[in-house]
């Protein structure tokens, strides 16, 4: 029997029985790779959440620090008596922290569901059960950024700490 590829036909003396025995293995491997692609897609989605929340946290903190610095050093305390810049900066940081918290929560929930589905497929013998999902570096990064964001919002609210 000849095996057809995209470009040409290859005849290696492969029998119909050998081709039929290869198909389940190839389908199983493609399904396992689909799980890995889905996991990587979830990580990319979390990276987008990290990028957006980091922008919000950074911009809010910059507004807060800029107007605090301007008030303290430029001697324009009469012009900047308003708490609006501080509140706006804190609101942006808080929005970034909330967005990151929701992104982490959705990511963890999705990954638990994906792992359960993958385990079911492995038990049924539809995919090989020997390959594991690695630890998500993206999730670790998001958790560390969340901790920094929480410290920043607490420091801004109390006007104390390393971010004041």
* pLDDT of res. 53: 96
What are the backbone angles phi and psi of residue 11, rounded to the nearest 5°?
-115, 110
Residue ranges of the chain with per-residue pLDDT less than 70: 1-27, 74-82, 131, 161-164
DSSP string, 33-80: HHHHHHHHHHHHHHHHHHHHHHHHHHHHHHHHHHHHHHHHHS--TTTT
**4 three-class SS:** strand
pTM of the predicted protein model: 0.76
Q: What does the radius of gyration of the chain's CA atoms come to, in whole angstroms?
A: 26
User: What secondary structure letter does DSSP report for 148?
Assistant: H
pLDDT value of position 157: 84
Note the pLDDT of residue 13. Answer: 59
Residues paired with 10 in a beta bridge: 3
Q: What is the pLDDT of residue 127?
A: 79
Residues 35 and 127 sit within 8 Å (Cβ to Cβ): yes
């Amino acid at each position: 029997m000849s095996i057809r590829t995209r470009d040409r036909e290859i005849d290696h003396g492969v029998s119909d029985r050998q081709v039929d025995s290869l198909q389940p293995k190839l389908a199983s491997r493609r399904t396992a790779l689909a799980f890995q692609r889905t996991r990587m897609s979830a990580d990319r989605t979390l990276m987008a959440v990290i990028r957006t929340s980091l922008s919000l946290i950074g911009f809010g903190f910059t507004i807060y620090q800029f107007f605090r610095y301007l008030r303290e050093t430029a001697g324009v305390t009469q012009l900047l008596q308003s708490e609006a810049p501080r509140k706006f900066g804190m609101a942006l940081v808080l929005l970034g922290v909330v967005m990151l918290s929701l992104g982490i929560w959705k990511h963890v929930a999705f990954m638990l569901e994906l792992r359960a589905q993958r385990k079911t497929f492995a038990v049924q013998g539809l995919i090989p059960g020997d390959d594991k999902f690695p630890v998500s570096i993206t999730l670790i990064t998001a958790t560390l950024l969340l901790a920094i964001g929480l410290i920043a919002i607490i420091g801004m609210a109390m006007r104390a700490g390393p971010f004041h």
